[in-house]
């Protein structure tokens, strides 16, 4: 990004407190990540970003936004843009820069799979276009503007992941990006604590279409009745994907291989797709990416090649080799009942090296499920088969509900429970149990920090 400070001031209706116009090559809200010629944006969150302006200056910032309700420090030595609200100004600047670059925008949301789907779409579109996409978890009202402002000026396609944890959030994000294509992967139980029912989650996800361009497309999972009902109110063109033959695009001849999925589609059964990840849910994610590719006229052979080796974001069903020679499927970025069931199903179908090896599952609490949390944990019992999963390790107070159900089908020697302050014992027991050739699944919400368990095993 390159913009003169005067252009930025005009774009966000800011008062500029400087006689010197300078070129800004970066916008940053984290003073630790500042580079030279940066515009610092002090965001007010748990801490007030204004308190870090001198650190930002020392790192190379040459200008800063500054809220009018804060006094400017003496001897600041930076060009200052006075605004009423720094976050709102950042969003306004992002919208301006997006219109200036003018790429096609693909916005992706969903209870599960949005990051993996974003990764797939990015790689599919990159076969024919200059693409910029969300990195990490930059998918909220702060992350989406930063994703936009990190675009290069020659970007032709922007793939923007959008998360939400409250009603109205996706409406706001949709207004910032005005998508050409909106994608909804699926509706699960994520954020039940805030929404109460899956119906309300579906309604909130549909907010992504609030500012969908008039000639845009809505691409969504047609196997979900809640989405089918809500989509009837959308005037733009719609494409559905899934496993049912009532969808515009559906998978055929799905096969699970060791660490791979193979499938074809109804649109061209001469093309065989291969994914470097397992699970039918990832086939569904790929169908969403193929649908986007169809709308944006990507050659089928290019989609086939891209999906065969797409770059998956860290800790989403990522295979790693453990210190004892075991193979670990790290799926610890986040967790909810639908995602956990999908991971368990996929993991159960991975072949063992020989009959002396074990499939070992480590599950931590699934957060943000509200009052339904205990019941949803207990109900995971139906996803287990003691013939497919040999050892089960459960961590966290909510997982006690699943333990009470699994004890009915597993012998005590194969079922292990740990309260929240016994993580080190969990690690020690796993290290004593795991042998070369074993398969280990780690799955849990980010707040339980299974990353510490993973690092110990690595």
In this prediction the pTM is 0.88
pLDDT of the residue at 259: 85
Record the tokens describing residue 149, joined without a space: 């402002």
Sign of CA dihedral 256, 258, 260, 263: negative
Say yes or no: 62 and 196 in one domain. Answer: no
Q: Give the neighbor-by-neighbor strand order of the sheet with 415-418.
A: 318-321, 327-331, 439-443, 359-364, 391-395, 415-418
Say yes or no: 151 and 262 in one domain. Answer: yes
pLDDT of the residue at 207: 97
Which CATH number do you get for residue 429?
3.90.190.20
Residues that constitute the known binding site: 110-116
| 213 three-class SS | coil
Tell me which H or E stretch contains 457.
Answer: helix 451-457
C-alpha neighbours within 13 Å on the C-beta side of residue 10: 7
Which CATH number do you get for residue 173?
3.40.1190.10
Say yes or no: 141 and 71 in one domain. Answer: no
Say yes or no: 168 and 295 in one domain. Answer: yes
Say yes or no: 223 and 326 in one domain. Answer: no
pLDDT of the residue at 383: 96
pLDDT of the residue at 19: 76
Record the tokens describing residue 90, joined without a space: 């950042």
Is 344 within the bounds of a domain? yes
pLDDT for residue 164 is more than 70 = yes
Tell me which H or E stretch contains 367.
Answer: none
**Could you list the residue range(s) of the whole structural domain that residue 268 is in?**
102-308
Lowest mean pLDDT among 82-86, 191-195, 312-316: 191-195
Is 376 within the bounds of a domain? yes
Is 313 within the bounds of a domain? no
Is 89 within the bounds of a domain? no
Q: Which of the listed residues 32, 57, 84 is the one where a domain comes to its end?
A: 84
pLDDT for residue 43 is more than 70 = yes
Mean pLDDT value of segment 420-445: 96
Going by pLDDT thresholds of 50, 70 and 90, the confidence category of residue 66 is: very high
pLDDT of the residue at 190: 67
pLDDT of the residue at 191: 63
Find, among 235, 241, 240, the residue nearest to 215 by Cα: 235
* Chain-centre distance for alpha carbon 291: 19
pLDDT of the residue at 392: 98
Higher-confidence position of 349 and 452: 452
Helix 300-308 vs helix 114-125: crossing angle, to nearest 10? 130
Q: Which of the listed residues 308, 343, 365 is the one where a domain comes to its end?
A: 308
Say yes or no: 183 and 206 in one domain. Answer: yes
Say yes or no: 130 and 258 in one domain. Answer: yes
pLDDT of the residue at 137: 83
For the chain, give the percent of residues with pLDDT over 70. 99
Cα distance from N-terminal residue to C-terminal residue, the chain: 39
Mean pLDDT value of segment 393-397: 98
Find, among 401, 290, 282, 393, the residue nearest to 345 by Cα: 282
pLDDT for residue 354 is more than 80 = yes
Q: Which of the listed residues 24, 54, 84 is the one where a domain comes to its end?
A: 84
Say yes or no: 298 and 342 in one domain. Answer: no
pLDDT for residue 193 is more than 80 = no
CA gap 208, 162 in Å, rounded: 8
Lowest mean pLDDT among 191-200, 223-232, 411-420: 191-200
Mean pLDDT value of segment 252-258: 90
Say yes or no: 65 and 182 in one domain. Answer: no
β-bridge mates for residue 107, sequence order: 160, 182
Lowest mean pLDDT among 37-41, 51-55, 191-195, 395-399: 191-195
45 exposure class (CB count in 10 Å sphere: 0-12, 13-18, 19+)? exposed
Span 334-350, pLDDT tens digits: 889 988 999 999 999 89
Say yes or no: 219 and 290 in one domain. Answer: yes
Calculated CA dihedral for residues 191, 194, 198, 199, nearest 10 degrees: -140
Going by pLDDT thresholds of 50, 70 and 90, the confidence category of residue 312 is: confident
Which CATH number do you get for residue 57?
3.40.1390.10
Span 172-185, pLDDT tens digits: 999 999 999 999 99
Say yes or no: 78 and 226 in one domain. Answer: no
C-alpha neighbours within 13 Å on the C-beta side of residue 317: 27
Is 96 within the bounds of a domain? no
Is 178 within the bounds of a domain? yes
354 exposure class (CB count in 10 Å sphere: 0-12, 13-18, 19+)? exposed
Residues that constitute the known binding site for ATP: 110-116
Is 97 within the bounds of a domain? no
Say yes or no: 335 and 362 in one domain. Answer: yes
Strands (E), 267-347: 268-275, 318-321, 327-331
How many domains is the chain partitioned into structurally?
A: 3
pLDDT for residue 198 is more than 70 = yes
Is 11 within the bounds of a domain? yes
pLDDT for residue 17 is more than 90 = no
Task: Please report the DSSP string for 215-261 in residue order.
Answer: T-EEEEETT-HHHHHHHTT--SEEEEEESSTTSSEEEEEEEEETTEE
Strands 260-265 and 268-275, by their bridges, are: antiparallel
């Amino acid at each position: 990004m390159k913009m003169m400070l005067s252009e930025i001031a005009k774009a966000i209706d800011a008062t500029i407190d400087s006689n010197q116009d300078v070129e800004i090559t970066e916008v940053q809200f984290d003073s630790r990540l500042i580079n030279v010629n940066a515009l610092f944006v002090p965001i007010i969150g748990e801490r007030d970003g204004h308190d870090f302006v001198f650190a930002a200056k020392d790192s190379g910032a040459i200008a800063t936004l500054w809220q009018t309700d804060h006094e400017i420090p003496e001897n600041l030595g930076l060009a200052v843009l006075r605004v009423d609200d720094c976050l709102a100004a950042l969003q306004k600047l992002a919208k301006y820069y997006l219109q200036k670059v003018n790429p096609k925008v693909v916005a992706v949301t969903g209870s599960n799979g949005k990051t993996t789907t974003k990764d797939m779409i990015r790689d599919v579109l990159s076969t024919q276009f200059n693409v910029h996409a969300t990195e990490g978890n930059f998918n909220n009202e702060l992350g989406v503007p930063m994703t936009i402002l990190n675009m290069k000026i020659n970007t032709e396609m922007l793939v923007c992941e959008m998360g939400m944890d409250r009603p109205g959030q996706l409406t706001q994000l949709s207004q910032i990006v005005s998508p050409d294509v909106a994608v909804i992967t699926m509706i699960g139980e994520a954020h039940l604590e805030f929404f109460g029912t899956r119906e309300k989650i579906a309604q909130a996800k549909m907010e992504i279409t609030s500012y969908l361009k008039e000639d845009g497309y809505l691409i969504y999972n047609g196997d979900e009745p809640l989405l089918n009902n809500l989509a009837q109110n959308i005037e733009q063109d719609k494409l559905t994907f899934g496993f049912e033959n009532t969808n515009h695009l559906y998978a055929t001849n799905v096969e699970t291989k060791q660490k791979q999925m193979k499938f074809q589609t109804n649109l061209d059964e001469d093309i065989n797709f291969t994914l470097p990840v397992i699970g039918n849910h990832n086939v569904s994610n790929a169908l969403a990416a193929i649908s986007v590719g169809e709308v944006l006229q990507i050659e089928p052979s290019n989609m086939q090649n891209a999906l065969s080796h797409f770059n998956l974001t860290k800790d989403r069903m990522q295979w790693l080799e453990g210190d004892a020679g075991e193979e670990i499927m790290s799926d610890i970025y986040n967790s909810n009942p639908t995602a956990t069931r999908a991971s368990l199903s996929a993991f159960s179908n991975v072949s063992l090296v020989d009959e002396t090896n074990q499939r070992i599952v480590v599950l931590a609490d699934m957060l943000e499920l509200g009052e339904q949390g205990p019941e949803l944990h207990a109900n995971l019992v139906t996803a287990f088969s003691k013939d497919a999963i040999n050892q089960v390790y459960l961590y966290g107070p909510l997982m006690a509900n699943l333990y009470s159900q699994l004890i009915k089908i597993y012998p005590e020697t194969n079922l292990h429970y740990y309260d929240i302050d016994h993580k080190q014992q969990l690690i020690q027991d796993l290290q004593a149990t795991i042998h070369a050739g074993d398969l280990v699944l780690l799955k849990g919400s980010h707040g339980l920090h299974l990353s510490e368990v993973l690092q110990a095993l690595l």
